[in-house]
Amino acid sequence: MRLVRLNDEKRAKWMRVRGGAVVLAVAALASTACGGAAGPVDTADTADTSPEAEAGPEVRPAPGRRGDFQAPPARALDAYASKLRRSYAARALAAKRWRLAKVPLSPPAPPARKPVLRTREGFEVAGHEEEGLPPVFTTVPTRHKIVFLTVDDGAEKDPAFLRMMNDLNIPYTAFLSDYLVKENYGYFERMQDNGVTLNNHTLHHRYLPALSYAEQKREICGMQDVIEKRYGRRPALFRPPYGNYNRDTLRAAGSCGIKAAPLWNEEVFPDRWDYREADRDLHPGDIVLSHFRGRGDWDGTMPDMVRAFMKLVTDKGYAVARLEDYL
């Protein structure tokens, strides 16, 4: 075999051509593995997603090795492509196991700069901005086709739900009420171990606007204490029961360390969706509500709810992202 030695200029040209081909190949594979694009790239709310950034730090050849025909950046891209293939294969197997109609789409990388959260118009209370009260919103600003799943209260403690969400790697956020959670704190500890953030939905799920400021503060701060004691951290997010609040609610929440009060734009059940907007459609950044419920309250189980949720979301070309990554 005759070895061909390339001078530095020719080698650099050859590596640029080869590297470009690998970049194109990996980009095509990433698009296939994610089931298509997740929406237009928004440089204002996402990290660097160039092939160079996704491939990780540059791998340099060892000193003195000349004429290496396997360019180190290409090896890094090959490894990334293999990771994408494995990830998609795992999602496809999990989707089949849990009887999803389609493989869930992958969300984009979390944004390097978090979007600015402002209270939705019409959801303000007197002195909201002036007093620095927690913002109340139903949608997170983003151009990406993503939605966020949130699950409230803690009544149903279905182990199949935990297995399903973990297998499918679908992110969600929980808002818990102690009078329901205390029946089985361990269930929600397993949820937290799977990467789910546990947030505040008050101690007893009371209609807060009917309570005094002091009573509301006990409901909210009391649940902060419970979650810190049981799960090791005080939540930054709070959702008022029934979505009802007044100025005292947000003042009390802020005094307890709450930074934001996300509501929702849609609610999903095993057999239907409810919508806040007149167009009855999903929008980029929408927060979706569901509940910890079972056949005693629903015409179905929590896994049935997830199947209904994922069918519509995936059919419309949306991925499910982690709410905390955007706040």
Q: Can you say whether the dihedral through the CA atoms of 111, 112, 113, 119 is positive or negative?
A: positive
Is 65 in contact with 120 (CB distance < 8 Å)?
Answer: no
Q: Per the domain annotation, does 78 fall within a domain?
A: yes
Least confident of 14-18, 30-34, 129-133, 267-271: 14-18
- The owner of tokens 């494995």 is 86
Mean pLDDT of 32-46: 42
Residues 89, 170: one domain? no
Residue at a domain's end among 97, 125, 155: 97
The verdict on 223 and 299 lying in the same domain is yes
Residues 174 and 66 in one domain: no
Q: How far, in Å, CA of 181 to CA of 227, rounded?
A: 10
Residues 189 and 89 in one domain: no
On whether the CB atoms of residues 241 and 176 are closer than 8 A, the answer is no
Are 219 and 155 in a shared domain?
A: yes
* C-alpha to C-alpha distance for 309 and 164, rounded to whole angstroms: 13
| Domain closes at, from 97, 127, 150 | 97
Task: Let me know whether 85 and 177 are in one domain.
Answer: no
Domain count across the chain: 2
165 in a structural domain: yes
Could you say which of 97, 115, 149 is where a domain stops?
97
Same domain, yes or no: 72 and 194: no
Is the model's pLDDT at 43 over the cut of 60?
no
**How many CB atoms sit inside 10 A of residue 224's CB?**
21
pLDDT of residue 77: 79
Do 186 and 79 lie in one domain? The reply is: no
In the predicted model, is pLDDT for residue 204 greater than 60?
yes
Is 162 among the domain residues?
A: yes
Give, as one character, the DSSP assignment of residue 266.
E
Do 183 and 308 lie in one domain? The reply is yes
User: Within 13 Å of residue 212, how many CA atoms lie on the same side as its CB?
Assistant: 2
Regarding whether 172 and 73 lie in a shared domain, the answer is no
Are 181 and 304 contained in the same domain? yes
Domain containing residue 18:
8-97
- The yes-or-no verdict on residue 115 having pLDDT over 80 is yes
Predicted structure pTM score: 0.78
Give the HSE-up count for residue 51: Cα atoms under 13 Å, Cβ half-sphere: 20
- More confident: 60 or 123: 123
Tokens 């709070």 locate to 238
At 74, is the pLDDT very low, low, confident or very high (cuts 50, 70, 90)? confident
Say yes or no to pLDDT of 226 above 70. yes
Tokens 């930074």 belong to residue? 259
Query: Do the domain assignments include residue 115?
Result: no
